[in-house]
Amino acid sequence: MNSPVPPKIVAYLKPTCGWSNGVRAVLAKYRLPFEDRDILNNPIQYEEMVRKSGQPLSPCVEVNGRMLADVSGEEVETWLARNGYISRNATPASAPTNASCSAEEHARQAAAPNVAFVR
C-alpha cells in the first residue's frame, strides 16, 4: 500500500554505476521523489554517506531517516514494499536492478579525477 505522503528519500549514488542506476530505476518505477547525491564527484556527500551508513560502499539509500547500506535496486524495492511505502507491480524497471557496473562504467570512473578525502 502506498503511503499518503511519499517518504523522504536521499540516495547516495555514483553518476554512472550499474548498482546506482538500478536504485534510480526502482525509484523512478514507483515515481518516488528522491535527492540524488553524487558521491563520486562530491567528497562532502561521500563523507556524509560513510558517516551515516558506517561503511564506504554504495549505493546507500536513506528513507525517512533509515539508512539502507550497500544495496541494489532490487533490495530497495523489497524493503520499500515490506515497509508499506509501495505496492509491488510487474512494470519493468528502466534499468537492471541487480547488476554491477559495466566495464565501460569502470573505465569512466577510473578516468575521473582522483579526489582526496580528508578527515
For the chain, what are the domain ranges?
9-111
| Residue 6 pLDDT greater than 60, yes or no | yes
Give the class (CATH, top level) of 9-111.
alpha beta
Q: How confident is the model at residue 5 (pLDDT cuts 50, 70, 90)?
A: confident
Tell which residue, 38, 24, 30, has the closest CA to residue 3: 30
pLDDT digits (tens, 9 = 90+) for 7-66: 999 999 999 999 999 999 999 999 999 999 999 999 999 999 999 999 999 999 999 999
Beta strand segments in 40-79, E: 60-63, 66-68
Report the amino acid identity of residue 51: R
